[in-house]
Structure 1
């Protein structure tokens, strides 16, 4: 079953390439540009508490023309709606912020109302129970009754639409999403390493009253834009550029699709082609790109003029801290007296890797703090950093494709005054997600924690503002910021 929504689209940053790993301790700063990498956990049992009053809640409603009846009852009674109760229970226990139950229920209702079924005429005759995990969900059951009364949708499709809508419209969090069983199967296949991509970074934003903000569903106003291409990858070779707005994938409009659905469309078997229609400065352009494995060197180091050591980290994998340390030691041994650390288009990854990299420049102190309903945690710098000597100037390069773990390191070094951050504002991804399986074979990915800098700054919306803001000129590559950093260090 495909969940399609009218005039909508999902937001986020995503790497149509390789996924980064989760953190070593289970507190993953999931890569916002790749599929979820945390392990699924068993679905919780549907809530058993009956929040209805008396017998009125379970009284049969007026029969529809199809002979189908929907009654209101408890989660324990509502077997066909079980995943709605499961998702609600997961959100109640795990979601990082306090839930607005009225908004959550309204989001579920909106998901049903905007759902476009591709399985018409399959509603069974008989009585089905719609659950009230909270009293506010009467509006959800009303929307379900209206949708099913027409006989144009299945109970299963309506329930999935309710769960999708609850997360998409009820949370104000573009990173919490519902995966249908079909989409989840595609993501699992991608994680197996059998799927290739094109090597691009995209971000979805909506402009409201002149200000851009994250959105969670792709629509006429919420657009998916290319914010980076992987050097040497298929997208760069084909001519895809920063600022291009995605319109279709192999002829299918991205309107109404979720981020992960778009990623699944773009990815495919190595050697096969995908056709993208994009808008570039109000001109439609078509690119046919041959998919290939996206192999990104984790580190790249070299000595530059003026005894400047240059070290690029492309992603935070579980072993990137060790690779980073090895290259950093070589640069210092070769006589580097100042350092340029390049996080341009680094989408993030493992939290423990971020702590390890930051600890190379900080001899003590807090690196970040994570906040969650379960517990708050603080992460301190580790001993033995190679470049903690403040006489070694450090410049960290960032841009709109620098996210998650990249922001952990940049934020910690900025707060400590240990490095100068140079470039453009970062992506603004400071949340942690975990995936929870549902009894229908689908899953929900839920934001379970938020991290803040040592100074307590939460820049999940606007990203990290560099100390030295340098805007890219048209056509500039990542080398542009490297040259700007060299000029900065030269005084």
Structure 2
């Protein structure tokens, strides 16, 4: 019923890494098992007699992947020798490319961020540019990971990017170089709220996070937003060390459980003064693995409020084991639970406040940190933009006027006003909740506020699977709403 999902950024790996690469020191069972002898026998026959004369490495890798495939575990992976460094670099934000961060859209990706001093920055790429081609090839509709791979390449080589900017087509030729992406982005937003985005949990993430947190605390912030949206995970130790900054000594951070029933507890040893300002953690369906460890620890200990969408649900831990002849095995070794004992695999974490519209999750977090804040939303019929407290927000579904009445996209307007929006199957209605109030809006025309029927004279409208609410209904529900024929202004005071 009118649920709209934003295009999501694609990422390479969903993982928790238990340890970084090191000598394995593992003892394997003696090679006397009859089953292994059978495998060796089949290998010898294929190698010696098959008509296609297969290569040894082809058979070896095929056998390895055959064993892995029987596990039906998407996270256990064999890494060839040339893939190991690439894998570790991807976690730590190191790669060879041009230094841009792309966001998927319906046809072509948009440049979300240009890294300072990168080839893209020096070559003239700007945030908001639409990438339409790579090396002369139109990329319309291609998966984002394929586009990213085509832009990356060996250091010193050239890549041509065709882009659309302000309705004009431009082509820039950039020289690829080694790029290191910081896993942390921090700043003050609003009047005095700290904001830290964590893109991945690399080796230095916990250290970088503490530096950012100390810097913001020195600016006398009164609240903090930690943004884990689209963060696929990384090193478990990094997530645990970050969580320590918010917990008391002795607080359980995460528990890992191995296949023999034994486990390991990660416990906070933080002796610093506990953070005293309120904290909101932003999550979405691509917040995975180590992100869920951090978010789950803060949620279970009651030191943060979660806002956004249900997390990915990857509750297992991998270890990267170097192999004697080269390459490595990324092996699922354990499951983990949050401090309260919750299992997250294929379940994820449901946030305290569910907000589906991605662009409204941060404004919603600001209302959580400042519950008495005055919120003003402005929308013009036919426009693809709205303004929330003066900040421009993309609008997927346009407002429109029908028979003299203004209809506003229901999910957007209510989430912008700080309400949660759900489908209530029992009453076949849309449920809108805010600060103890519950509004049930049915397509049949009935509207209930805390169980009492509200007469607005107008009903919700469903068009192209999107629900719209008339301005008169907003007024009847107690919201301040004005419409001068050009622009609607809705307020929560």
Out of 383, 400, 407, which is 2:285 matched to? 400
TM-superposed CA distance for 1:485, in Å, is: 1.3
**CA distance in 1 between partners of 2:49 and 2:234 (Å):** 43
Higher alpha-carbon deviation: 308-317 or 360-369: 308-317
**CA distance in 1 between partners of 2:220 and 2:333 (Å):** 44
TM-superposed CA distance for 1:452, in Å, is: 1.4
Residues 1:231 and 2:113 are matched in the alignment: yes
Name the structure 1 match of 2:369.
489
Name the structure 2 match of 1:73.
37
TM-superposed CA distance for 1:146, in Å, is: 11
Equivalences for 1:359-374 in 2 at 5 Å?
Answer: 359-363=244-248, 364-373=250-259
Q: Secondary structure at the match of 1:231?
A: strand
**What CA deviation, in whole Å up to 9, does each residue of 1:133-171 have, x standing for no partner?**
xxxxxxxx9xx859964435345423321211221x211
- Verify the 8 A CA contact 2:254 2:297 in the aligned structure 1: yes
The structure with more strand, counted as a fraction of residues = 2
Name the structure 1 match of 2:242.
357
Residues 202 and 45 of structure 1: CA distance in aligned 2, closer, same or farther (over 3 Å):
farther
**CA distance in 2 between partners of 1:186 and 1:151 (Å):** 32
- Verify the 8 A CA contact 1:199 1:294 in the aligned structure 2: no
**What CA deviation, in whole Å up to 9, does each residue of 1:195-234 have, x standing for no partner?**
347656899xxxxxxxxxxxxxxxxxxxxx9999862256
Name the structure 2 match of 1:272.
157
TM-superposed CA distance for 1:302, in Å, is: 3.1
Equivalences for 1:166-315 in 2 at 5 Å?
Answer: 166-167=67-68, 169-181=69-81, 183-184=83-84, 195-196=96-97, 231-232=113-114, 239=130, 246=143, 249=146, 267-270=152-155, 272=157, 291-315=176-200
Residues 48 and 202 of structure 1: CA distance in aligned 2, closer, same or farther (over 3 Å):
farther
- Verify the 8 A CA contact 1:14 1:202 in the aligned structure 2: no
Residues 1:49 and 2:32 are matched in the alignment: yes
Q: Secondary structure at the match of 1:349?
A: strand
**CA distance in 1 between partners of 2:145 and 2:292 (Å):** 31
Give unmatched runs, 5+ long, in structure 1: 1-12, 29-36, 53-71, 79-128, 132-140, 204-224, 251-261, 278-285
**CA distance in 1 between partners of 2:215 and 2:337 (Å):** 32
Residues 1:382 and 2:283 are matched in the alignment: no
**CA distance in 1 between partners of 2:84 and 2:345 (Å):** 26
- Verify the 8 A CA contact 1:177 1:444 in the aligned structure 2: yes
Residues 153 and 342 of structure 1: CA distance in aligned 2, closer, same or farther (over 3 Å):
same
**CA distance in 2 between partners of 1:380 and 1:226 (Å):** 45
Out of 336, 340, 347, which is 1:451 matched to? 336
TM-superposed CA distance for 1:247, in Å, is: 8.4
RMSD of aligned Cα (Å): 4.6
Give unmatched runs, 5+ long, in structure 2: 1-9, 133-139, 163-170, 372-493
Residues 228 and 20 of structure 1: CA distance in aligned 2, closer, same or farther (over 3 Å):
farther
Name the structure 2 match of 1:420.
305
- Verify the 8 A CA contact 2:310 2:348 in the aligned structure 1: yes
Name the structure 2 match of 1:161.
62
- Verify the 8 A CA contact 1:238 1:289 in the aligned structure 2: no
TM-superposed CA distance for 1:305, in Å, is: 3.1
**CA distance in 1 between partners of 2:274 and 2:365 (Å):** 18
Q: What is the total number of aligned residue pairs between the two structures?
A: 334
Residues 21 and 163 of structure 1: CA distance in aligned 2, closer, same or farther (over 3 Å):
closer
**CA distance in 1 between partners of 2:38 and 2:101 (Å):** 46
Q: TM-score, normalised by structure 2?
A: 0.55
**CA distance in 2 between partners of 1:330 and 1:189 (Å):** 27
Name the structure 1 match of 2:42.
130
- Which of structures 1 and 2 has the larger relative contact order (alpha carbons within 8 angstroms, sep 6+)? 1
**CA distance in 2 between partners of 1:449 and 1:439 (Å):** 23
TM-superposed CA distance for 1:290, in Å, is: 6.6
- Verify the 8 A CA contact 2:307 2:351 in the aligned structure 1: yes
Name the structure 1 match of 2:450.
none
**CA distance in 1 between partners of 2:212 and 2:144 (Å):** 41
**What CA deviation, in whole Å up to 9, does each residue of 1:107-137 have, x standing for no partner?**
xxxxxxxxxxxxxxxxxxxxxx237xxxxxx
Residues 246 and 302 of structure 1: CA distance in aligned 2, closer, same or farther (over 3 Å):
closer
TM-superposed CA distance for 1:268, in Å, is: 2.1
Q: Secondary structure at the match of 1:195?
A: strand
Residues 347 and 189 of structure 1: CA distance in aligned 2, closer, same or farther (over 3 Å):
closer
Q: Secondary structure at the match of 2:345?
A: coil
**CA distance in 2 between partners of 1:330 and 1:248 (Å):** 34
Q: Secondary structure at the match of 1:302?
A: strand
- Verify the 8 A CA contact 1:226 1:244 in the aligned structure 2: yes
Residues 47 and 442 of structure 1: CA distance in aligned 2, closer, same or farther (over 3 Å):
farther
Q: TM-score, normalised by structure 1?
A: 0.55
- Verify the 8 A CA contact 1:422 1:467 in the aligned structure 2: yes
